[in-house]
Structure formats: C-alpha cells, structure tokens
Amino acid sequence: MGKKGREIVKAKLDEVIKHLLAAYSDEWLAHYQYWLTARWIRGMDADTLRSVLEKQSEDELMHAGKLANRIIQLGGQPVMNPKQLLDTAGCGYKEPPRDPTDLRTVIQDVLNAEACAIDYYSKMCEKYRSTDIVTHEIFEDLLKDEVDDEEEWEKFLAKP
Ligand SMILES: [Fe+2]
Ligand SMILES: [Fe+2]
C-alpha cells in the first residue's frame, strides 16, 4: 500500500488485519461448506437448494478474495496453510448433515452461518466507519450480500 493509503488508516493495523483474517477464514469455510453440501444433498427439494448453494458458495469465495486483497494491501498475510483456517475463523465450520436428505438441517446450518456473518460484519462496519474507510467499505459490501443470503434462505424455511 502506498504512503497516503497507509496514512489515512487511523486504526491499529495489526488489529484490522486480525479482523480481516477472521472474516477471510469464515468466507473460505462457508464456501467449502456450501460447495460440498450442494454436491451431497439428495431428495425432493435438493435441486432447488443445490443451485442456491452453488451460487452462494461462489459469492463467499469472491468475498474471501476481496478480504485477501485488503489483507495484502495492509501488509498482512492471508492464511497460508488451510489447516489454520478453523483456528482463525470466528464463525467456524458446520459439516453437512450425515443424512443427505435432511434438508431442514442444511437450511438451518446455512442460516446460522449467515446470521453469524451478519453479526460480525455489522460490528466491523461500526468499528471501522471512521478509522479505516476502505476496510469499512469492504465489510459493508459483504454485509449487504449476507443480508440478501439470509433472506433467500428464510424463504425456504417458510415452506411447509
Ligand atoms: Fe460471505
Ligand atoms: Fe453468505
């Protein structure tokens, strides 16, 4: 990052990078969870859920990309070893249900992941609103996406 770009960051760099890393890890884990679940599930409504899982799985990977770019820009390192993703994550990872036809659990697990992300991103938006505007914008973009994701999944839950 350039001189002026660094100067305008009023927050502590270590702390910003730590917060970005947690988000980065969660996005990778959500990507993996949704990607795998899309392939694993079976049953009546599985195809409907599958296409949403695939789409959102790509979105989460795109989120991880935005976070990685910002981490590098601030002089940090994204998680270099995937073994560490679970330790760095804030929301964590939920395995797809053992029963591939248990679509209610799939929906609930995604909703939990999205709720956790919304919670975290809204806190981060507040935190960096005036101390790191660029990071704030990234968290805000991600927050908007996760709010849309949650809404899409709540519709499935409303179905009988
Ligand atoms: Fe995301
Ligand atoms: Fe999401």
Residue 83 has what DSSP assignment?
G
pLDDT confidence band for 160 (50 / 70 / 90): low
Q: Residue 147 CA: which ligand is closest?
A: 2
How much distance in Å is there from the Cα of 155 to the middle of ligand 2?
15
Q: Is the pLDDT of residue 158 over 80?
A: no
CB-CB neighbours of 89 under 10 Å: 21
CB-CB neighbours of 157 under 10 Å: 11
How much distance in Å is there from the Cα of 125 to the middle of ligand 2?
16
pTM: 0.95
How much distance in Å is there from the Cα of 88 to the middle of ligand 1?
16
pLDDT confidence band for 98 (50 / 70 / 90): very high
Distance CA 54, CA 121 (A): 22
- Which among 23, 2, 3 is positioned nearest to 135, based on CA atoms? 23
pLDDT tens per residue, range 21-48: 999 999 999 999 999 999 999 998 999 9
Q: Residue 146 CA: which ligand is closest?
A: 2
Q: What is the model's pLDDT at position 2?
A: 83
